[in-house]
Amino acid sequence: MIKSEKITLFHYYLPIYLGMITTGILTMPTMLYKAAEQNLWLPLIVSSLSGYVMVLVVTYLYHRFPGQTLIEIFRTTMGRWIGNFCSALLLGLLIGQAIFILREYQMYLTINYYQYMPAVVVIGLLLLVCMYAVHQGLEVICRSSVFFFPFIIAVQLITCLLILPELSPYRLLPILDKGILYPLKGAVFSFAWYSEFLWGAFYMPAVSVPAKKMLTTGFLFVTATTVSLLIVFFVVICFLGDATSQYLYSFDIVERYIQVSGLIERSSALFMIVWLLGVFVKMALLMFIISVNTAHFVKKISYAKLALPVMLLLLLISSFCFTSMKSMYQNGMFFLNICCLVGNMILPILLLIYCLLFHRDTPRSSGQ
Amino acid sequence: MSVWNFLRQWKGKSKKKTPEQLYLAPEASQMISGSLNKNKRILDQAYQDCADVIQRVIRFGEKGESGALLVYLEGTANVEEIDEHVIKSLQKSKKPVRSLEDMKQALSVTDAQKIKQFADVFKNVSDGKPVLFLDGVPSALILGLTKWATRSVEDTPTEPVIRGAKEGFVESLHVNISLIRRRIRTPKLKVKTLEVGDYSRTQVALTYMDGICDKKLIQEILDRVNRVSIDGVWDGGMIQEQIQDQRWSIFPQIQTTERPDTICAAMLEGRAALFFEGTPNVLIMPTTFFAFMQSPEDYYSGFIISTLLRILRTIFILIALLAPAFYIAVITFHQELIPTTLIMSVIQFREQVPFPAVVEAVGMEITFEGLREAGVRLPRQIGPAISIVGALVIGQAAIQASLVSPAMVIVVSITAIASFMIPHYDLSIAIRILRFPIMIIASMFGLLGVVLSVICIVIHLTSLRSFGIPYFEPFAPFRKKASLDSVVRAPLWVQKQNPQGAHGNRNQSVKGRGQKT
């Protein structure tokens, strides 16, 4: 299935990284500001620990069970019934995450650009493109993300550079005025965020590298994610200060205040374009993972053929869930956190512990 | 069922004819006989109603006792040389001519081969080689005295350069190969010939550099070309269409050129070239997307200049693809993106126009494409007339009649200029066609539609392969060394050898046709 496709380690982590920073830049500053105010860098750094843990878990599983995806590992170690139950649960939780991302994307577009376009159309368009990408396979998703990568990074960096004259760093002060524990409340939220690094476990067989290299590169990408998000957070706080919590999409607001000799005044469309590229990468990857997982259930069917049913399923569910802004950011956020925590962290860590305790006899094969 | 079986068998039988049977006359299976009269009878039968076949009986010897029969196609054989070196030499020869060996000695022709079958006679006469029969000998001589009409080597009008060689390929395969040989003077330059086309039996030459080019690539190309079943080949394009990896793609996965220097550079990068008799267009494979954005001149003018030019070309490709779509999206959905003063004037002009932006844009673009196509087909003398009409149609008059807005005219003209900047016609026509669906999507979904269509195009491009090489190569997947010669051109001393990463030395396996990865 995906064993015939070969990607490099850079291709392996890049879609996850791009997906995390694009969605993170848009909504995370506001969410974290509500919890930690100007000290929001602290929960971010603390929660990046979960990213390192996830990379460790993935690398261990990769090293221990070469050539198997997470679902297959569940099956081989936990037996048929529990394994199937766990993989079904994982699948459900992944679909939950996909629904939230789709709705988040649709809300952003509806609020800012397409007030009159039906939500189903906005979601359906993205899903159609993602379906095409999934149909072409993992290699294509990774390669196109490599192609989009410089554009996404360049636009974000240029935004940060151009807004520099407007920044006032004193807005970052006072540091830790309410103690250390107060800002850490926000970490719960971003813990879930970093757990997305587990997604790699679903297409592990596509890479063939020594486990050590996988670990170091993974750590590098987690660090890169933290650094990129920190830069954006600092820019947002230094620019908006207390007003950060007023805006849903605070970095978008920052973008609108760029003024270079009256020329690049209206660059918000540019921001929207690169944001779309990032969302596409994230969604295509997630849809690929869901298709591959489903393909494991329905044997003898290639994941490419499952792209269409998965797309229809996502479209159907997402047109019923979180139809309003309020429901999305109150219920949806809670729902997403549960999905991420259970699916991306608790289940795999339980698997890891189970393997460490009860499955020591499995022969180790090539790796480090 | 029996009817079906019968039909299938009948169909199978009718298909069984080999290519040899198709282009050769039924007499081909016979052997050449010792009697000149019998041979003449067979030839007369085969070349019935062929007015251009010349058969001439030559009498020679002291008393005219020996006889020979010369057969050739009018216009393909070099008549002066036949007169000088065959007929005169035979008549002057003092020794008696009893065997073909004697005849070889008597003639002053370097290239003379012995054959025994009529099949070879027909083949060689079609190739333009005269055939000489000798009375009393059951075999014949082929004389390499061909002279096909060909045009002289000139500048290529389709790929003009300011700096660089002004030579272009012509319709003769041999001249074309010699143009290559003149530039790469080493026995490592290999030329393999094969024949394609059931009736046309077009000569095809595959050239590559031994040691640089991947052996698997050569085998794959030969396999694919041999698999092609076609009656006649008049241009490489007819084969290109059938041997591409993705035959349904709009993007060309094989590059064509008329310039010898382009071919030589490509071969030194480990690619192979396919020459066809009768066309100046030569195919280069494998190729990448970025090869279509490069001109040979890039390497002759300085690297700073060519890097800037390449960046300019990249920007203009995006303009050629997206400018009208972007205009439609902004006018229809995102008016807030236009600065206030500009939108005032745009609105003022658009007030007069009765159509929505998309109708205006699609109409204008179609008119322009029509004008351009007409310009290609027109006789040269009428050329200027069409440009005057064109300027009026999509220019001043259309605006005065309030059919289109001035902004639209500007967008269309910029798009037109941009699409002329793409150095290779194959890519430029693909981009011109893709512009239309994007325009329609933009009118329905705005910028979202534009971005998603670009994503779709990128997905398609990254999924393409050209003989096993990823089509979007230096960027997706990213290759540092090769990317130095893509959108930028690094100085030659930095690139060292094999700028494209030498396809041959990369251990990149060549995938079969249509094989998905």
Burial of B317-347, coded b for 16+ CB within 10 Å and e otherwise, reads bebbbbbbbbbbbbbbbbeebbeeeebeebe
Q: What is the separation, in whole angstroms, between the first and last Cα of chain A?
A: 25
Any chain A CB within 8 A of the CB of B463? Answer: yes
Of B452, B463, B470, the CB nearest to A136: B463
Give chain B's radius of gyration (CA, Å).
30
Q: Which residue of B has its CA nearest to A115?
A: B333
Q: Quick one: average pLDDT of B432-440?
A: 94
Q: Calculate how close chain B gets to A251, using CA atoms only, in Å.
A: 18
Question: Binning pLDDT at 50, 70 and 90, where does residue B219 land?
Answer: very high
Q: Which two tokens stand for residue B147?
A: 């002279």
Say if the Cβ atoms of A147 and B455 lie within 8 Å: no
Q: Is residue A365 part of a domain?
A: no
Question: Binning pLDDT at 50, 70 and 90, where does residue B318 land?
Answer: very high
Percentage helix, strand, coil for chain B under 3-state DSSP, each rounded to 5: 50, 15, 35
Q: Calculate how close chain A gets to B451, using CA atoms only, in Å.
A: 6
Q: How many CB atoms lie within 10 A of CB B246?
A: 17
User: What whole-number distance in Å separates Cα of residue A204 and Cα of residue A6?
Assistant: 10
How large is the ipTM?
0.91
Of B336, B445, B459, the CB nearest to A132: B459
User: What whole-number distance in Å separates Cα of residue A236 and Cα of residue A252?
Assistant: 10
Ranges assigned E (strand) in B181-261: 189-196, 202-209, 255-257
Q: How many CB atoms lie within 10 A of CB B453?
A: 23
pLDDT computed for residue B324 by the predictor: 94
User: What whole-number distance in Å separates Cα of residue A38 and Cα of residue A44?
Assistant: 12
**Those residues with Cβ within 8 angstroms of residue A220's Cβ, 6 or more apart along the chain or in another chain:** none
Q: Calculate how close chain B gets to A104, using CA atoms only, in Å.
A: 15
More confident residue, A259 or B119: B119
User: What whole-number distance in Å separates Cα of residue B503 and Cα of residue B270?
Assistant: 5
**Those residues with Cβ within 8 angstroms of residue B97's Cβ, 6 or more apart along the chain or in another chain:** B60, B61, B66, B90, B103, B106, B134
- Whether B57 and B68 have beta carbons less than 8 Å apart is answered as yes
Q: Which of A8-17, B84-93, B156-165 has the highest mean pLDDT?
A: A8-17
Coil/strand/helix, residue B449: helix
Q: How many CB atoms lie within 10 A of CB A3?
A: 11
Interface test with A, best of B343, B463, B509 (most A CBs within 10 A): B463
Of A129, A140, A266, the CB nearest to B336: A266
Q: Is residue A363 part of a domain?
A: no
Please write the tens of the pLDDT for every residue from B120-136.
888 888 888 899 888 88
Say if the Cβ atoms of B458 and A144 lie within 8 Å: yes
Interface test with B, best of A113, A114, A147 (most B CBs within 10 A): A147
Interface test with A, best of B288, B332, B455 (most A CBs within 10 A): B455
CB–CB contacts below 8 A, A to B: 85
Q: Which residues in chain A touch residue B449, judged by CB atoms under 8 angstroms apart? A: 125
pLDDT computed for residue B5 by the predictor: 63
Asked whether the predicted pLDDT for residue B509 surpasses 60, the reply is no
Please state the domain count of chain A: 1
Q: Is residue A108 part of a domain?
A: yes
pLDDT computed for residue B31 by the predictor: 84
Any chain A CB within 8 A of the CB of B468? Answer: no
Question: Binning pLDDT at 50, 70 and 90, where does residue B516 land?
Answer: very low
Burial of A72-81, coded b for 16+ CB within 10 Å and e otherwise, reads bbbbebbeee
pLDDT computed for residue B251 by the predictor: 93
Q: Quick one: average pLDDT of B369-385?
A: 81
Say if the Cβ atoms of B455 and A144 lie within 8 Å: yes
Q: Calculate how close chain A gets to B504, using CA atoms only, in Å.
A: 20
Please write the tens of the pLDDT for every residue from B444-503.
999 999 999 999 999 999 999 999 889 988 887 888 777 888 888 888 888 765 444 444
pLDDT computed for residue B507 by the predictor: 37
Say if the Cβ atoms of B333 and A109 lie within 8 Å: no
Say if the Cβ atoms of A113 and B333 lie within 8 Å: yes
- Whether A281 and A145 have beta carbons less than 8 Å apart is answered as yes
Coil/strand/helix, residue B113: strand
Nearest to B465 by CA among B509, B419, B413: B509
Give bridge partners of residue B196 from the DSSP assignment.
B202
User: What whole-number distance in Å separates Cα of residue B269 and Cα of residue B265?
Assistant: 6
Burial of A42-65, coded b for 16+ CB within 10 Å and e otherwise, reads bbbebbbebbbbbbbbbbbbbbbb
Q: Calculate how close chain B gets to A4, using CA atoms only, in Å.
A: 7
User: What whole-number distance in Å separates Cα of residue A284 and Cα of residue A141?
Assistant: 7
At A28, which CATH number? 1.20.1740.10
Coil/strand/helix, residue B163: coil
Nearest to A156 by CA among A65, A224, A69: A224
Q: Got the DSSP string for B50-112?
A: -TTEEEEEEEESSSS-EEEEEEEETTTB-HHHIIIIIIHHHHH--S---SHHHHHHHS--S-E
Say if the Cβ atoms of A147 and B338 lie within 8 Å: no
Say if the Cβ atoms of A276 and B337 lie within 8 Å: no
Say if the Cβ atoms of B463 and A122 lie within 8 Å: no
Any chain A CB within 8 A of the CB of B483? Answer: no
**Those residues with Cβ within 8 angstroms of residue B51's Cβ, 6 or more apart along the chain or in another chain:** none
Q: Which residues in chain B touch residue A122, judged by CB atoms under 8 angstroms apart? A: 448
Range of A222's domain? 2-358
Helix (H) or strand (E) holding B366: helix B357-377
Q: What is the DSSP letter of B146?
A: B
Helix (H) or strand (E) holding B222: helix B215-227
Any chain A CB within 8 A of the CB of B337? Answer: yes
Q: Which two tokens stand for residue A257?
A: 């205040």
Any chain A CB within 8 A of the CB of B334? Answer: yes
Q: What is the mean pLDDT of chain B?
A: 84
From A20-34, B1-15, B146-160, the region with the lowest mean pLDDT: B1-15
Q: Where are the alpha helices (DSSP H) in chain A?
A: 9-36, 41-64, 70-78, 80-112, 119-136, 138-162, 181-184, 187-194, 211-240, 250-256, 268-297, 303-318, 325-327, 333-339, 347-358
User: What whole-number distance in Å separates Cα of residue B284 and Cα of residue A256?
Assistant: 48
User: What whole-number distance in Å separates Cα of residue B468 and Cα of residue B214?
Assistant: 11
Chain CA centroid to CA B339, Å: 48
Q: Which two tokens stand for residue B483?
A: 């990317």
Helix (H) or strand (E) holding B115: strand B112-115
Q: What is the mean pLDDT of each run of 10 residues along chain A (368 residues)?
A: 74 91 85 79 85 90 85 83 87 91 90 88 94 91 92 89 84 75 74 84 86 90 92 88 81 80 68 91 93 81 85 90 79 83 86 81 46
- Whether A100 and A339 have beta carbons less than 8 Å apart is answered as yes
**Those residues with Cβ within 8 angstroms of residue A235's Cβ, 6 or more apart along the chain or in another chain:** A159, A160, A163, A167, A251, A254
Q: What pTM does this model have?
A: 0.88
Say if the Cβ atoms of B337 and A266 lie within 8 Å: yes
Q: Calculate how close chain B gets to A101, using CA atoms only, in Å.
A: 17
Coil/strand/helix, residue A79: coil
Q: Is residue A19 part of a domain?
A: yes
Question: Binning pLDDT at 50, 70 and 90, where does residue B508 land?
Answer: very low
Chain CA centroid to CA A152, Å: 15
Q: Quick one: average pLDDT of B423-429?
A: 90
User: What whole-number distance in Å separates Cα of residue B285 and Cα of residue B8?
Assistant: 38
Give the dihedral sign, CA B146/B152/B157/B161. positive
Asked whether the predicted pLDDT for residue B144 surpasses 90, the reply is no
Asked whether the predicted pLDDT for residue B8 surpasses 70, the reply is no
Interface test with B, best of A106, A129, A144, A261 (most B CBs within 10 A): A144
- What letter represents residue B446's amino acid? G
Say if the Cβ atoms of A113 and B448 lie within 8 Å: yes
Instruction: Tell me whether strands B66-73 and B282-285 are parallel, antiparallel or unpaired.
Output: unpaired
Q: Is residue A47 part of a domain?
A: yes
Residue bearing tokens 């295509």:
A284
Domains of chain B by residue range: 18-143, 173-298, 308-463
Please classify residue B276 by burial: count the beta carbons closer than 10 Å to its beta carbon, then call 0-12 exposed, 13-18 middle and 19+ buried: buried
User: What whole-number distance in Å separates Cα of residue B27 and Cα of residue B363?
Assistant: 60
**Those residues with Cβ within 8 angstroms of residue A122's Cβ, 6 or more apart along the chain or in another chain:** A105, A106, A109, A110, A114, B448
Any chain A CB within 8 A of the CB of B42? Answer: no
Residue B31 has φ and ψ, to the nearest 5°, of: -90, 155
Instruction: Tell me whether strands B469-470 and B465-466 are parallel, antiparallel or unpaired.
Output: antiparallel
Nearest to B424 by CA among B154, B159, B156: B159
Say if the Cβ atoms of A113 and B477 lie within 8 Å: no
Say if the Cβ atoms of A144 and B336 lie within 8 Å: no
User: What whole-number distance in Å separates Cα of residue B202 and Cα of residue B275?
Assistant: 10
Q: Which residue of A has its CA nearest to B330?
A: A269
